[in-house]
Structure 1
Amino acid sequence: MQELKLNTMETTEKKFSSKDFHQTFARPSFVMPDKLIHRNVENAGEHNQFSTERKHPVFFVDLPSKNVSMTIGGLLPGQLTNRHRHTYETLLYVIEGSGYTEIEDQKVEWKAGDAVYIPAWTWHRHQNLSDSENAKYIATENAPQLQNLGVALREEEGRDL
């Protein structure tokens, strides 16, 4: 996989500290990644472990972003997910259905066409309010960025606590 590469002066030989900030010189250069499209995301199949933990189907968009991720989440009729929290932010865009997301002690109701913000490290879960129709949303998160920095954490209520 190709990526944006930064050419730096002697960064591999010298260990820098905060006093050396002025000595780091980035010279970005563009390199085309191998993959620019993930076709038929849902036909590629559910992410088994993540879908099991969340107790609803989750489909990962497999593209080489180092900073943001995208998933498609589905909620079956009446389904309520586990409470969980993570150090990364989440933006949900509801494609179909209606329900709510409980964020800490606030209940945020949503329907198709709405977007919901879930702040970092807040306990949250999702509920489909329909007894007969599925709900579906796209979730974007800055998880890869925090994972690459080594500071991404996620807790599932009942599993980690």
Structure 2
Amino acid sequence: MKTTAATKEQLSSKDFHQTFARPNYVRPEKFIHKNVEQAGVHNQFSTERKHPVFFVDLPTRNVSMTIGGLLPGQLTNKHRHTYETVLFVIEGKGYTEIEGEKVEWQAGDAVYIPVWAWHRHQNLSDTEPAKYIACENAPQLQHLGVALREEEGRDL
């Protein structure tokens, strides 16, 4: 059965076998976000997180990427979310506390933060900033309506 706009409206749960998803190419509005950090810090997000955050503004639907920074000696708020995060440390040395466990990192390391785990980040240098790339599946969960983030002390 070929689905058309008219038949799509008539399908129900019993009709899953009749819907055949076929991928098709849709050109995104853009392929590149040049000079990510030159676009400026996302003020509201950075203020809430208490550290600089730069969004990579590309039309992804399943994963997001941000460049995060920690100022010298900075410790972020403890928070948790329903999406997974992988941090790739570009520069600096510090740790991420995950559910009370300290995971030390330095430039070149990747750190995994599981779903719904309380965590925060600390830059161990008092003189040099730390920087990382954060990849998350937040957009996918946002489209499903199940992305949730809590800040300790604010949301509880």
Taking structure 2 as the reference length, the TM-score comes to 0.94
Residue 84 of structure 1 contacts residue 156 of structure 1 at CA under 8 Å; is this kept in 2? yes
Question: Could you say which residue in structure 1 is the equivalent of 2:106?
Answer: 111
Runs of 4+ in structure 1 off by over 3 angstroms are 7-12
Distance 1:107 1:34, change over 3 A: same
Provide the rounded CA distance (Å) in 1 between the counterparts of 2:12 and 2:155. Answer: 36
Provide the rounded CA distance (Å) in 1 between the counterparts of 2:20 and 2:146. Answer: 25
Question: Could you say which residue in structure 2 is the equivalent of 1:49?
Answer: 44
Fraction of identical pairs, as percent: 81
Residue 8 of structure 1 contacts residue 26 of structure 1 at CA under 8 Å; is this kept in 2? no
Question: Could you say which residue in structure 1 is the equivalent of 2:10?
Answer: 14
Residue 70 of structure 1 contacts residue 139 of structure 1 at CA under 8 Å; is this kept in 2? yes
Provide the rounded CA distance (Å) in 2 between the counterparts of 1:112 and 1:158. Answer: 30
- Structure 2: segments with no counterpart, 5+ residues: none
CA RMSD of aligned residues (A): 1.4
Greater CA deviation, 114-123 or 19-28? 19-28
Deviations 1:12-71 (A, max 9, x none): 312422x33212111221121120000000010111111011100000000000000000
Q: CA deviation at 1:111?
A: 0.3
Write out aligned runs for 1:33-112 (5 A): 33-112=28-107
